[in-house]
């Protein structure tokens, strides 16, 4: 069945792949992008997959209203992403991510558009899942600066201070954002959940884990860690790895993320429902840097022992719900995908 879809952030790294995947699946796509400088150093492309890109900010209600004409569903990829530079970024994160989403939802309600796929993020969890040998599943406290400065990176049991074992985090885990970006992504989810009840409508929130692949923007603090490592290697510099490099993440290829969006659009279940979008094959940040350096023949990673406020230690996902309910399973194994990514083009 052909769906007329508005894709926001369609000219961005993930949005471009999603747009092309929707077109390949036979959908009719309208593309919208603000060309935000955090995602685009220059002007965004005029077309994506031969679809003209409308230049508009989601905070512009009139432009959003026009873009929704004749649309059946919205695939909402537009967002200011990453850890950012400092707290001076806070108003722009809230404006782009939360106010922009609020305007979009309000205009969707007016236009009678009742379906959305939302690009959310694993950052809404804060820390991932942990278990204590004595106390079972526990939620560690935020790591203290004094511990991080002393090189004590692993969270400990809040009840007995024992070492913890990282476990899979599923969609029912407590949500505890620990950065500005994370707080805005959780606010997006809350806004969407309220909207689905009021309309009523349908929102499928896809909690992306660490997305990588061709077309990532280079040399920007708003990009993902894989692109930051690649940018360093392209310049002949060693990738700088924070902490001890043993923090665990799930790296998922952008083509799998695009496939998850196509599957979510087809699901169309009523109400709000969140899904992890992950490879199911976790690795460490240090291993990613090492693999990229080895494949490119670049300098070995430098493990700095440094840290960033708001970073969490381990976030490893359970992809079971997406497999069971959306029929989505990642097709690209990180070992293969990261090897290919080492030679893939980045966006200037």
Would you please indicate which residues are annotated as catalytic (active-site) residues? 181
Q: Are 262 and 193 in contact (CB under 8 A)?
A: no
Q: Which residues pair with 66 in a beta bridge?
A: none
Whether residue 200 has a cis bond before it, omega within 30° of 0 = yes
What distance in Å separates the CA atoms of residue 5 and residue 182, rounded to the nearest whole number? 26
Q: Which residues pair with 284 in a beta bridge?
A: 248
What distance in Å separates the CA atoms of residue 40 and residue 34, rounded to the nearest whole number? 9
Q: Are 74 and 6 in contact (CB under 8 A)?
A: yes
CA 308 to chain centre: 18
DSSP, collapsed to helix, strand or coil, labels residue 222 as: coil
Question: How deeply is 32 buried, as exposed, middle or buried, from its count of CB atoms within 10 A (0-12, 13-18, 19+)?
Answer: buried
What distance in Å separates the CA atoms of residue 257 and residue 233, rounded to the nearest whole number? 25
Closest C-alpha to 79, from 185, 178, 180: 185
What are the start-end ranges of the E strands in 87-217? 115-121, 129-132, 136-138, 165-167, 202-208, 210-212
What distance in Å separates the CA atoms of residue 184 and residue 90, rounded to the nearest whole number? 9
Spatial CB neighbours of 266, under 8 Å, sequence gap ≥ 6: none
Q: Extract the tokens encoding 16.
A: 């471009």
């Amino acid at each position: 069945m052909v769906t007329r879809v508005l894709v926001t952030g369609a000219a961005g790294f993930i949005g471009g792949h999603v747009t092309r995947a929707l077109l390949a699946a036979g959908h009719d796509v309208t593309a919208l992008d603000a060309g935000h400088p955090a995602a685009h150093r220059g002007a965004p492309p005029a077309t994506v997959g031969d679809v003209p890109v409308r230049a508009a900010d989601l905070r512009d209600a009139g432009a959003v209203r026009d873009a929704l004409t004749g649309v059946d569903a919205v695939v909402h990829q537009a967002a200011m992403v990453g850890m950012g530079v400092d707290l001076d970024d806070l108003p722009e994160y809230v404006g782009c991510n939360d106010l922009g989403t609020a305007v979009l939802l309000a205009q969707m309600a007016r236009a009678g558009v009742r379906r959305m796929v939302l690009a959310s993020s694993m950052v809404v969890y804060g820390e991932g899942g942990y278990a204590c040998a004595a106390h079972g599943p526990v939620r560690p406290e935020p790591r203290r600066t004094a511990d991080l400065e002393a090189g004590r990176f692993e969270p400990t049991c809040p009840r007995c201070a024992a070492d913890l074992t990282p476990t899979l985090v599923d969609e029912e885990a407590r949500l505890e954002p620990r950065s500005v970006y994370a707080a805005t992504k959780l606010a997006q989810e809350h806004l969407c959940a309220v909207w689905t009840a009021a309309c009523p409508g349908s929102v499928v929130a896809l909690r992306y884990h660490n997305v990588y692949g061709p077309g990532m923007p280079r040399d920007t603090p708003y990009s993902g860690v894989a692109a930051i490592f690649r940018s360093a290697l392209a310049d002949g510099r060693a990738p700088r790895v924070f902490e001890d490099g043993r923090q665990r993440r799930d790296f998922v290829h952008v083509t799998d993320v695009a496939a998850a969006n196509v599957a979510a659009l087809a699901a169309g279940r009523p109400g709000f429902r969140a899904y992890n979008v992950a490879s199911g094959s976790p690795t460490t940040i240090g291993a990613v840097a090492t693999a990229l350096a080895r494949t490119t023949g670049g300098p070995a990673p430098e493990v700095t022992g440094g840290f960033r406020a708001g970073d969490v230690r381990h976030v490893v996902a359970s992809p079971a719900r997406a497999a069971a309910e959306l029929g989505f399973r990642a097709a690209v194994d990180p070992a293969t995908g990261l090897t290919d990514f080492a030679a893939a083009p980045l966006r200037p």
